[in-house]
Amino acid sequence: MPFKDIFELILKYGVWGIVLLLVIFILLLIRILIDEDKTDIWRGRFYKVLYKILKRREAEKKYVAYDIAGRLNLARRGMPFGKNLIPRSLKVEWIESSSGQTYIPKEGELVVKLDPAEEQEKNIIFLAHALIQKTALIGIRYILEKPIEDSVDLNLIKNLLREIGNPTILDWYMKYEYIPQIEQNEKLKDWNSKIVEIDERGLFTRLLLVELDRYGVKIAGTSKSSEMEEEIKDLIKFLYNIATKKYGENAPLNHITRNIKIGILLVGETSKILSSIDPYIKAFIYQLKKQVESIYVLSFSKEFLRENDEESEKAFEEMRGYLQERIKSEFKVEKDFELTYFCYDIKGRKRKAKCVHYIPDYSC
């Protein structure tokens, strides 16, 4: 709350305004104390200031242990896959000659061992990598070809580092880890180019990894087979084709194999949705008839485009909301999540987008 608003609140309500502010402050404080990641971030801010003033290694270590670890775990919590695997808190132990080994001392806590003699940028990469190894691609790493596994891990680490808001660490990672690994392996470079395109459209953590997480649950305890390898490869290719689809081009919007059954609705043409949402309702029914197990409704607004006009944008948002209401009232589906985010279209233009994941119920 800006200081001006606080001052006006006190002037308007007097003592009661001060009481209200104290209540809000206490509630915020309780919320921070309950959330271990946010508590760690506040501790980290203190040690960051201390390190900048004193330049002591001990303060820097505590900054990494609290602020960076808290931000990484908070960023990972913002990704809608493997939520039951994310630790309640991410802790650091400084032990010489260690390099990212982990252990779980108690439920909900992940401890990562880091070497105090190592470059701190590298320690932060170790920290991010350890978190990814424990919370992503669980149950399917034994199936994945190494280039695909590495590409997913490399881009997940990149996303986490971008979220913590420290460009220096991200630059270090891109220069010394990400690019060198990709450049030395042609297969990795090929799969990585597909993952990057999927990620640019916002479908990497919100769709691909959600489906891979569901896939891991479905095939748990099953021996590796060539069919499984191909299912995962084909899923990536399917999403890549959608991610690189040009305006007016057609691309398959459902992907059905033995273990993966998903359908996608793309809501992008303003003129189409403003005239009627019936085509999208029919498309939703079509996906249900295919007995898909996941339906993703992806919509891309015109907010940042030059051809944007305020009235059309407002009408677009209203019709998008009406579409969700119709889906909720007319179909037996569970809304797993709804995420609003920013991405870039195939022309490199910034877009505001929304991904809604529905899980159909065919029980009756």
Provide the pairing of β-strand 261-267 with 254-256.
antiparallel
Does the pLDDT at position 184 exceed 70? yes
How large is the average pLDDT for residues 238-248?
91
For every residue of 181-241, DSSP letters joined together read: HHHT-HHHHHHHHHHHHHHHTT-IIIIIHHHHHHHHHHTTTPPP-HHHHHHHHHHHHHHHH
Domains of the chain, residue spans: 3-33
- In angstroms, the Cα distances linking 64 to 27, 158, 168 are 27, 17, 14
Q: Which two tokens stand for residue 139?
A: 């149950």
Residue among 119, 121, 130, 56 nearest 92 (CA):
130
- CA-wise closest residue to 71 among 50, 90, 47: 90
For 286-324, the pLDDT digits (tens) are 999 999 999 999 998 765 444 556 777 777 788 888 999
Model pLDDT, residue 307: 53
Residue 119 has pLDDT above 60, yes or no: yes
Helices 186-200 and 146-163, axial angle in degrees (round to 10): 40
Structure tokens at 363: 């029980």
| pLDDT over threshold 50, residue 32 | no
Q: Which helix (H) or strand (E) holds 92?
A: strand 89-94
pLDDT, tens digit, for every residue of 148-182?
A: 999 999 999 999 999 888 899 999 999 999 999 99
Give just the sign of the alpha carbon dihedral 183, 185, 186, 188: negative
Residue 31 pLDDT: 52
213 pLDDT more than 90: yes
Contacts of 221 (CB under 8 A, 6+ apart): none
Complete DSSP assignment for 319-360? HHHHHHHHHHHHS-EEEEEEEEEEEE-TTS-EEEEEEEEEEE
Residue 160's nearest CA partner among 205, 223, 217, 97 is 205
Q: Please give the mean pLDDT across all residues of the chain.
A: 84
Number of neighbouring beta carbons within 10 Å of residue 51: 18
User: Quick check: 240 pLDDT over 80?
Assistant: yes
Q: What is the pTM of this model?
A: 0.83
Tokens of 317: 């948002």
- Nearest alpha carbon to residue 97 among 117, 112, 125, 123: 117
For 98-116, how does the pLDDT look when each residue is reduced to its tens digit (9 = 90+)?
Answer: 777 898 888 888 999 988 8
